[in-house]
Structure 1
Amino acid sequence: METGLDTKKRNVPGEATLSVNNIGGIDDAEVSFQQGVTVLSGRNATNRTSLLQAIMAALGSDQVSLKADANEGNAVLEFGDDTYRRHLERRNGTIATDGDPYLEDPELADLFAFLLESNEARQAVARGDDLRELIMRPVDIDAIKSEIEQYEQRKRQLDEQLDELDDLEQRLPDLEAKRTRVSEEIETLSDELEEAQAELEETNVDVEERREEESELETKLEELRGTRSDLERTRDRIETERESIEALEEEQDEVRTQLESLSTGDETEISRLEAEIETLQDEKATLSEAISQLQSTIQFNEQLLEEPDSFLENAEQDDDEPVTEQLLEDSETVTCWTCGSSVARDQIEATIEQLRTARQERLEERSEISSELNDRRETLSSINENRTEHRQTQRRLESIDDEIERRNDRIEELTEEREALTDEIDALEVEINDLETEDYSGVLDQHKEVNQLEFKLERKERKRDEITDQIASIEDRLGEREDLKARREDTTDELTNLRTRIDQIEADAVEAFNEHMENLLETLEYGNLDRVWIDRSSREVREGRRKVSRSSFDLKIVRSTDDGAAYEDTINHLSESEREVIGLVFALAGYLVHDVYETVPFMLLDSLEAIDSERIATLIEYFESYAPYLVVALLDEDAQAVEVEHSTVSNI
C-alpha cells in the first residue's frame, strides 16, 4: 500500500538535469539526477558543496556564492517539461540574482530542506538557540491574527442575527393575539356599518323620490364623505411621520453616544508614530543587509575551508607542486586567496564562529525591532480605524439630522393640509345644514355615522394587514435560522481551527522531532545517550509594550552512567556526531510539519563527516523515505557504506 509521500514522489518528475556555470568553485558542469538518493562522492575540495549550492540557486535560494574569479554565474534546472533559470551577478560587493527559479519564496527550503553545514536549523541545535522561533518563523502569525479577527466579527454578526430571530419568535404569540383581536373588531365594525348603511339606504329611497329638489344636498354629502376620507388619510400620514421621527431620534442619541466614545487621535501623536515607523523600517532594512552580508561572508569562508583550490587556481606558486596538493599535505593551514599568506584553519574557523555569533545577534536585534515595528503599526492602525469610524459615524449623524429635518418639514406640510381639509369640512357641514329640510334633518348625522364607521373599518383592516405582513416576515426570517446556525457552526469551527493552528504546528513539530529522534537513537546506538526530546512549555515574553504568553521548546537530553544511573545533560556535552544527528532530525521535523516536500521536491545534505560511515548510511536510508530527491555530499569512504539504492556522481 502506498503512503501519502509515495504518491507525492510518484507525481514528481522522475529525472532532473542541472547545468552550472561559475557557481562556488565550478567553472562549467552538467549533472543529471534520478528520483531517490543521489550521492555526490569525492575527496574534499571536489566541488560537491558548490554543486549543492547550484541546485539551491536554481530552486530559488540566495544562500549561494559566485566563483571567486567570476562576475556572473548561472544555474539552469530542467525538471520534467519545465526549465528553471537563475542568473547571479556581482554588484557592489554583493551578489544580485534574477531569473525564473523553482520557488518564489525559498524560506522554507533554506530552513528545512537545504541542510548544508551553515543551515540555520542545524546550527540552532548546536548553539542551543530558540528552536520554537525557528520552527514558527515561516508561519505568518499576523495574517492568522487578522483572519481570527475577521471570523470573530463574522461570528458576532451571526450571533446578533440569531438573537434577533429569538426576539422575533417571542413576538409571534403577541402578534397572533393582536391580529385575532383586530379581526374581531373588524367583524363588529362590519356589522355596525352594515346596519348604518341600511338605515341610510332607507333614507336615500325617500331622497331618490325627490332627487331633483335635493340633488344639491346629495352632492354636498358625497363631497363631505370624500373630504373626510382625505382628512383621515392625512392624519394617518402625520402619525406615521411622527413615529419615524421618534425612531430616528432614538438612533440619533445612540449615534451621538457612539461618536463621543470615538477618538480622532492627536495629529502630533500620529506624526510621531509615522516617524518612528519609518526609522524602525530603516533600521530593520540596515540590519537585514548586514545579516545578508554576514551570511555571504560566512559561506565564503566555509567554502574556502571546504574547497580552497577553487580560489587559488590563478594564484602564483613558488614551486612546481600543485596548490591543492600543498593544501592537502598541510591540512592545518589554508592559503589566503587575496594575499597568498598561510592562515591556520582553526583561526578561520574561529572567525567564522565570530561571524555566526554576530549574525545571530543581529537576527535577535532585528526580531526586537520587528516587534517594536508591529507595535507601532498596530497603534497607528487603531488610531486610523478610529478616525475612519469617527468620520463614518459623523456622516451617519448628519444623515439622520437631515432625515429628521425633512420629516418635520413634511409634517408641517401635512398639518397645513389637515387644517385646510378641516376648514373645508366645516364649510361643507354649514352648507349641508342650510340645505337640509325638516324631513331630512337626520341625513347629515347618518352620513357622518356611516363615514366614521367606514374610516374605522378601513383603519382596522389596514392594521390587520400590517400585522399579517409582520407575522409573514417573521416566519420568513425564522426560516433562515437553520442556515444561520449552520454558518455559525462553520465559523466557530474555523475560528477554533485558527486559534489552535499555531498551537497545533508547535505540537506537531515537537511530536515529529520526538518520534524521529526516538526511532533514530534506537537505530544508531549512541552508547549512553538514552533519550533526546523537546519539552514544550509556556513562558511570558515581552512583545513591544505588552507581555504575552509564548511557547518554549526546551531540548532535553538524558544519559546514563556505566552502572546504569540516568542523569540529565546539555547539548554542549554531546559529541559532534550526536549534535549533528539532533540538528538533522530537528530540520526533518520542520520539513514534515511545514510539508516542505509539497513546496520543493529536493532535500540536500552536506558536511556529515563528523558522523561515522555506518550511521551516515542509516540516516540516508531514514531520510530517503521523506524526500522525493535526496542529494548527499559524501567522502568516498562514507559513500561506499551507503546500502540504499542510489545514483552516484563523482566527477563534477
Structure 2
Amino acid sequence: MEWTVESENIAGIRSGSADIRPGRNVVQGANWQGKSSFLKAIETSMGTETPLTEGETSGRVDLETPEGEYSVELERRNDTVVRNGEPFLDDEYDRIRADLYAFLDEDNAIRQVVRRGDNLEELLAKPLDFENIEAEIADRKAERSSIERELEQAQEAARRLPSLQEDVTQLANELDNLEATRDELDQTDERDEDSDREQLSKLQAELSQTEQRKEQLSDSVTRIQNKLEEVREEYESLSVPDEDVTAELAEAREKQQSIQGDVDLLQSVYSVNKRVLEEDRGDLLTNVDHGLLEDQFNCWVCGGETSEDELRDNLNDLSERISELKAEAAEYDERAEELERKQDEIREAGRRRDDLERQIDDLETKLADRRESLESATERLESLDERIADLNDSVSEHSDELTEIKSEIKHTETQLDEKREELERAERQAERRSVLETEYEELEAEIESLRNRKEEIKRRTRDAFDDAIADLLDRFDTSFETARLTSTFDLVVARNGREASIDALSEGELELLGIVAALAGHEAFEVADDVPVMLLDQLGGLTEENLATLVDYLDDRVDILVFTAYPEHSSFDGNVIDPDEWNVITKDTEVAP
C-alpha cells in the first residue's frame, strides 16, 4: 500500500519526491528543509489545500497509490490560487472531515480554537452541515406517507374480505339458480334459442355496462374539471420574480475570494515575521547588533536599519489590516449567501410554475379525452336503446321470461367476475400488510435516527473525547487531572479536583488537548473509513519523549501516519523520509548562521 508523492512549487518545496508507507512515517530534518511543506503537499493531493509557492504561477502534486493515481494542479489567477485536476478526496464532505480531524498541522482549526480557549461546538459539528439532514427527513416522511396510505388500503382490504367472499358465494348461487331455470325453459320451448333473443340478451348486457361506463366517465369529467380549476387558480396566483441575481452573486463571490486571498497572503507574511521575532531568530535572516537597551539590525525585507520594537509596531499594523480585510470578506460572504437564497427562491418558483403548466396541459388533455369518451358512450346508449326497442318488438311473441333469465345470467356472470377480481385484489392487498408494517416501522426508525443525528454525533464526540483523554492521561504526565467537553462543547480542565483555567496550561498541554479534540471528531464522524492518512506537524511544545508517546498512540488509529521531527530526535520506528534531496526555497538564498 505504498504511496508516492511528487510535488512541484508547493509551499516551500520547489521540487521533491517521497514514499509513504502503511504505519508511521517521520519526515526528519532541520528547519527550512520543507518538512511542513511536504505535509502541505499531501493535503494538496487530498484536495484540502492550495499552498502555491510564493512568486510562482503554477504548481502540482502527483499522488500514486495502489488504488489509483491522482494529480492536482495549482494556478495563480489574479492573486487567487485555483485548483484543477482530480484530488484523492472528491467529495466536499470528506475534505471537510479530513481538514478538521485528520490533517493536524499548525493551521488545523481545532488546534487553534483550543489554543484560544474558544468553544468547539461549531467545528466538532461542522460536517453535519453537509449531510442535509432535514432534506433526508423530508424524503423519508414522504416515503412513509406513501407506505401509510398503502397500508391503510391493505387494512381496509382485509376488513372487506369476509363481505366480498359472501358476495361471491351469493352471486355464484344466484347464477346456479338462474342457469337451472334457463335449462328448464329451454326444454319446454326451443324457440327461446333463436337469434333475436340471443342478440337481445347481449344488447341488454351491453346496455347495462355502457350505462355504468357513462356514469363513471361523468364522475371522472367532474373530478378532472375540479382539479383543473384548482391548478389554474394556483397557477394564476403564483408569482415568479423576473430577476436574475447570477451576475451579482458571481461578483460577490469573486470579491470575497479575492479579499480572502489577500488575507491569506498577509497572514502568511505576518505569521512568518511574528514567529521570527517571538523566537528571537532574527540572526537567521540578517546581522544583529546587540545593544545595551535594544537590538539593532537591518530589515531583511528592505535592508534599512530598524529595531525589534519598530518591527513589532509594523506587525501590529499588519494585524489590524488583516482584521479589516476579514471583516470585509465576511460582508461579501454574507451578501453572497443572501443572493444564493434569493436565487433558490426564484428557481423554486419557476420550477413550480413549469410543473403547474404541465399539470394544466395534462389535465386539459385528459379532460378532452374523457369528454370524447362520454360523448361516445352517450351515443352508444342511444343506439342500444333503439336496437333493443326494435328487438323487443320483433320477439314480442316469444317468452319474455327466458329472455329476462338469460339477461340476468349475463348480468350476474359479469357481476360475479367483477366481484371475484375485486376479491383477488383485496386478498393481494391484505397479504402485504406485514411487509408494509415492517417498512413503515423501519422508516419511523430512520426518521427518528435522523432527528437524533446531531445530538447523537455530539454525544459520540464527547464520549470519544472522554475515552481519548482518559487513555492519554495514563500515558502523559500533565499538570491537570482530567479534561472534558461540556454539553455546549466548552473545554474544561480540572486540577486538584477543581476547574482550572485553560490559560494556565503549558504549550504542550494545549497542543495535546487540541489533538484529543480533533481525534474525538475523527472517531465520531468515522473519518478513517474514507481518509486513510493522518498528518501531525508543529508540536514544538511536546518533548521528544511525549512526541514519541503520542505517535505510538496515533499509530493504532489510522492506516498511515505522517509526522515531522528534528534531526536530533531519536530515531522513530517506521519509514524515515529524508528531505535532503528536495529543492526547497531556502536553498535559493544565503541564510546567516
Out of 634, 641, 647, the position equivalent to 2:565 is 634
Superposition pairs of residues 383-402 of structure 1, within 5 angstroms: 383-384=349-350, 386-402=352-368
**Which secondary structure does the structure 2 equivalent of 1:554 belong to?**
coil
Alignment partners' CA distance in 1, 2:313 and 2:523: 37
Q: In terms of Rg, which structure is larger? A: 1
Q: In the alignment, what sits opposite 1:405?
A: 371
Q: Given the alignment of the two structures, is residue 198 of structure 1 paired with residue 187 of structure 2, yes or no?
A: yes
Determine what percentage of the aligned residue pairs are the same residue: 22
Superposition pairs of residues 30-69 of structure 1, within 5 angstroms: 30-68=17-55
The answer on whether the counterparts of 1:113 and 1:596 sit within 8 Å (CA) in structure 2 is: yes
Q: Given the alignment of the two structures, is residue 187 of structure 1 paired with residue 176 of structure 2, yes or no?
A: yes
Q: In the alignment, what sits opposite 2:585?
A: none
Alignment partners' CA distance in 1, 2:256 and 2:9: 29
Q: In the alignment, what sits opposite 1:467?
A: 419
Q: In the alignment, what sits opposite 2:13?
A: 26
Alignment partners' CA distance in 1, 2:324 and 2:22: 39
The answer on whether the counterparts of 2:118 and 2:490 sit within 8 Å (CA) in structure 1 is: no
Out of 222, 233, 236, the position equivalent to 2:205 is 233
The answer on whether the counterparts of 1:259 and 1:390 sit within 8 Å (CA) in structure 2 is: yes
Out of 160, 165, 168, the position equivalent to 2:157 is 168
Amino acid at match of 1:237: Q
**Which secondary structure does the structure 2 equivalent of 1:523 belong to?**
coil
Alpha-carbon distance change, 363 to 286 in structure 1, aligned in 2, over 3 angstroms: closer
The answer on whether the counterparts of 1:534 and 1:555 sit within 8 Å (CA) in structure 2 is: yes
Alignment partners' CA distance in 2, 1:122 and 1:360: 20
Q: How many aligned positions are there?
A: 569
Q: In the alignment, what sits opposite 1:137?
A: 126
Amino acid at match of 1:299: S
The answer on whether the counterparts of 2:23 and 2:559 sit within 8 Å (CA) in structure 1 is: yes
Deviations 1:569-624 (A, max 9, x none): 3x445443332222222222223333333434332222222334433333222222
The answer on whether the counterparts of 2:256 and 2:330 sit within 8 Å (CA) in structure 1 is: no
Q: Given the alignment of the two structures, is residue 534 of structure 1 paired with residue 506 of structure 2, yes or no?
A: no
Q: In the alignment, what sits opposite 1:270?
A: 241
Alpha-carbon distance change, 519 to 358 in structure 1, aligned in 2, over 3 angstroms: farther
Q: In the alignment, what sits opposite 2:549?
A: 618
Q: In the alignment, what sits opposite 1:340?
A: 303
Alpha-carbon distance change, 328 to 621 in structure 1, aligned in 2, over 3 angstroms: farther
Alpha-carbon distance change, 252 to 22 in structure 1, aligned in 2, over 3 angstroms: closer
Out of 579, 593, 602, the position equivalent to 2:524 is 593
**Which secondary structure does the structure 2 equivalent of 1:608 belong to?**
coil
Q: Given the alignment of the two structures, is residue 291 of structure 1 paired with residue 298 of structure 2, yes or no?
A: no
Q: In the alignment, what sits opposite 2:499?
A: 567
Q: Given the alignment of the two structures, is residue 449 of structure 1 paired with residue 401 of structure 2, yes or no?
A: yes
The answer on whether the counterparts of 2:22 and 2:559 sit within 8 Å (CA) in structure 1 is: yes
The answer on whether the counterparts of 1:78 and 1:84 sit within 8 Å (CA) in structure 2 is: yes
Alignment partners' CA distance in 2, 1:62 and 1:605: 15
Alignment partners' CA distance in 2, 1:332 and 1:152: 71
Out of 89, 113, 118, the position equivalent to 1:103 is 89
The answer on whether the counterparts of 1:264 and 1:386 sit within 8 Å (CA) in structure 2 is: no
Alpha-carbon distance change, 515 to 477 in structure 1, aligned in 2, over 3 angstroms: same
Instruction: Quote the offset at 1:94 in angstroms.
Output: 3.5
Out of 500, 517, 523, the position equivalent to 2:469 is 517
Instruction: Quote the offset at 1:163 in angstroms.
Output: 0.7
Alpha-carbon distance change, 392 to 59 in structure 1, aligned in 2, over 3 angstroms: closer
**Which has the larger displacement, 334-343 or 44-53?**
334-343
Alpha-carbon distance change, 505 to 26 in structure 1, aligned in 2, over 3 angstroms: same
Out of 356, 372, 387, the position equivalent to 1:421 is 387
Out of 534, 538, 554, the position equivalent to 1:603 is 534
Alignment partners' CA distance in 2, 1:121 and 1:504: 20
**Which secondary structure does the structure 1 equivalent of 2:27 belong to?**
strand
**Which secondary structure does the structure 2 equivalent of 1:44 belong to?**
coil
Deviations 1:398-420 (A, max 9, x none): 24432441233123312331342
Instruction: Quote the offset at 1:154 in angstroms.
Output: 1.5
Alignment partners' CA distance in 2, 1:454 and 1:297: 99
TM-score (norm 1): 0.75
Deviations 1:176-216 (A, max 9, x none): 22223323333333343333333324xx6xxxxxxxxxxxx
Alignment partners' CA distance in 1, 2:289 and 2:518: 32
The answer on whether the counterparts of 1:17 and 1:32 sit within 8 Å (CA) in structure 2 is: yes
Gaps of 5+ in 1: 1-12, 205-217, 309-320, 433-443, 537-552
The answer on whether the counterparts of 1:264 and 1:390 sit within 8 Å (CA) in structure 2 is: no
Alpha-carbon distance change, 67 to 131 in structure 1, aligned in 2, over 3 angstroms: same
Alignment partners' CA distance in 2, 1:404 and 1:81: 60
Out of 427, 431, 453, the position equivalent to 1:479 is 431
Alignment partners' CA distance in 2, 1:87 and 1:97: 6
**Which secondary structure does the structure 2 equivalent of 1:607 belong to?**
coil
Alignment partners' CA distance in 2, 1:257 and 1:109: 54
**Which secondary structure does the structure 1 equivalent of 2:53 belong to?**
coil
Alignment partners' CA distance in 2, 1:650 and 1:425: 108
Instruction: Quote the offset at 1:112 in angstroms.
Output: 2.5
Amino acid at match of 1:505: I
Alignment partners' CA distance in 1, 2:317 and 2:520: 30
Q: In the alignment, what sits opposite 1:499?
A: 451
Alignment partners' CA distance in 1, 2:298 and 2:111: 28
Q: In the alignment, what sits opposite 2:587?
A: none
The answer on whether the counterparts of 2:57 and 2:76 sit within 8 Å (CA) in structure 1 is: yes
- RMSD, matched Cα: 3.9
Alpha-carbon distance change, 128 to 368 in structure 1, aligned in 2, over 3 angstroms: farther
Deviations 1:283-307 (A, max 9, x none): 3443244324423432354345668
Amino acid at match of 2:146: Q
Out of 227, 244, 255, the position equivalent to 1:255 is 227
Superposition pairs of residues 314-329 of structure 1, within 5 angstroms: 324=285, 326=287
Instruction: Quote the offset at 1:469 in angstroms.
Output: 1.9
Amino acid at match of 1:340: G
Instruction: Quote the offset at 1:90 in angstroms.
Output: 4.0
Alignment partners' CA distance in 2, 1:161 and 1:169: 12
Q: Given the alignment of the two structures, is residue 647 of structure 1 paired with residue 560 of structure 2, yes or no?
A: no
